[in-house]
């Protein structure tokens, strides 16, 4: 590519929030060119177009008792990936008495539960200073929606070459999201999983819902890239009764994995108590996903 052409095509002559042909050619070359992507997690689970891993667990690692209870249940259900955050971004600075970020203590509990049950761990990295501790235990590092364009954080996380879940910011276009994803790939990390988790729209159909799951983003992203596209209906809807229909809709739209928030006693979840599924609801959802995924030749993991 000549220098002149490069400069010409980087100048934003027709500013748009959606991808142009020039963007596809020049701005996200890595994300668009990689074929048949398979993101292996410790050689135990793969994210790809053929699989449908389910990631489940509570919002936060509230206590050792909670995380062991959830892990025991997931093990029984054949789910291989446990989620739970020890470091948490919260929309407001005030925390209920029940809620404390358990930080390093929470990471130690995740470590224990991982060794005891042999589960893979997904947890969020909110700041570079926590990365060293988190990476000792986590098998997948989650970049939360609020940090999607925290490029310094993205860079440092990517350098570790561990699998990453990059969540779409609730106000970001696909163009912004793929730009952030390209930042991961330029660091030489191809172990990227992209997650749709709901966007801000004028009406979200309930006063308790803040976002709407952008189902259309799933085929839109799959049209452009071969990286696994997963869906998080829990953080999108904020409302447990909608998680099942939205999870099934995500499978029908072609997602390559799901994040489902669950808690043994949702109303006593330290944060977002309206959102997690209880064990019974999770089991019912898992059965339905298993049936539906057969239609799409996807293997539930
Ligand atoms: C989460 O996964 O717990 C979370 C906070 O997600 P998001 O960044 O999508 O809000
Ligand atoms: Mn959460």
**pLDDT tens figures, 117-170:** 999 999 999 999 999 999 999 999 999 999 999 999 999 999 999 999 999 999
Distance 262 CA to ligand 2 centre (A): 10
Is a pLDDT exceeding 80 seen at residue 10? no
Distance 11 CA to ligand 1 centre (A): 34
Predicted model pTM:
0.94
Ligand 1 nearest-atom number relative to CA 198 = 9
Tell me what pLDDT residue 93 has: 82
Is a pLDDT exceeding 70 seen at residue 2? no
Encode pLDDT of 228-255 as tens digits.
Answer: 999 999 999 999 999 999 999 999 999 9
Give the residue from 206, 209, 195, 180 showing the smallest Cα distance to 275: 209
Distance 26 CA to ligand 1 centre (A): 31
Q: State both tokens at 166.
A: 């990059």
Longest CA–CA span in the chain (Å) reads: 61
Give the residue from 285, 287, 290, 288 showing the smallest Cα distance to 300: 290
pLDDT greater at residue 101 or residue 116: 116
Encode pLDDT of 191-216 as tens digits.
Answer: 999 999 999 999 999 999 989 999 99
Residue 169 CB neighbour total at 10 angstroms: 21
Tell me what pLDDT residue 143 has: 98
Q: What is the DSSP string of 18-73?
A: SPPHHIIIII-HHHHH--S--EEETTTEEESTTEE-EEEE-SB---HHHHHHHHHH
Is a pLDDT exceeding 80 seen at residue 5? no
Q: State both tokens at 252.
A: 């029908």
Ligand nearest to the backbone CA of 199? 1
């Amino acid at each position: 590519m000549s220098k002149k052409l490069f400069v010409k095509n980087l100048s934003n002559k027709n500013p748009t929030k959606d991808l142009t042909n020039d963007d596809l050619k020049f701005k996200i070359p890595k994300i668009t060119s990689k074929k048949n992507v398979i993101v292996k997690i410790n050689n135990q689970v793969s994210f790809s177009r053929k699989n449908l891993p389910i990631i489940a667990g509570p919002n936060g690692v509230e206590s050792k008792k909670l995380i062991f209870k959830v892990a025991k249940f997931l093990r029984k259900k054949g789910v291989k990936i446990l989620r739970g955050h020890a470091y948490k971004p919260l929309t407001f600075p005030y925390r209920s008495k029940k809620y404390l970020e358990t930080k390093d203590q929470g990471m130690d509990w995740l470590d224990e539960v991982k060794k005891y049950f042999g589960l893979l761990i997904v947890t969020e990295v909110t700041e570079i200073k926590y990365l060293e501790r988190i990476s000792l235990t986590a098998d997948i590092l989650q970049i939360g929606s609020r940090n999607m364009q925290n490029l310094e954080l993205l860079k440092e996380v990517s350098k570790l070459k561990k699998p990453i879940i990059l969540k779409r910011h609730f106000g970001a276009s696909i163009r912004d999201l793929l730009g952030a994803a390209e930042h991961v790939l330029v660091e030489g990390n191809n172990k990227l999983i992209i997650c749709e988790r709901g966007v801000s729209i004028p009406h979200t159909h309930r006063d308790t819902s803040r976002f709407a799951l952008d189902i259309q983003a799933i085929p839109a992203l799959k049209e452009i890239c071969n990286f696994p596209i997963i869906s998080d209906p829990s953080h999108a809807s904020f409302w447990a009764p909608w998680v099942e229909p939205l999870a099934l809709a995500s499978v029908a739209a072609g997602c390559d994995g799901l994040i489902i928030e669950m808690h043994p006693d949702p109303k006593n979840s330290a944060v977002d108590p309206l959102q997690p599924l209880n064990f019974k609801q999770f089991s019912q959802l898992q059965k339905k996903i298993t049936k539906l995924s057969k239609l799409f030749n996807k293997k539930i993991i």
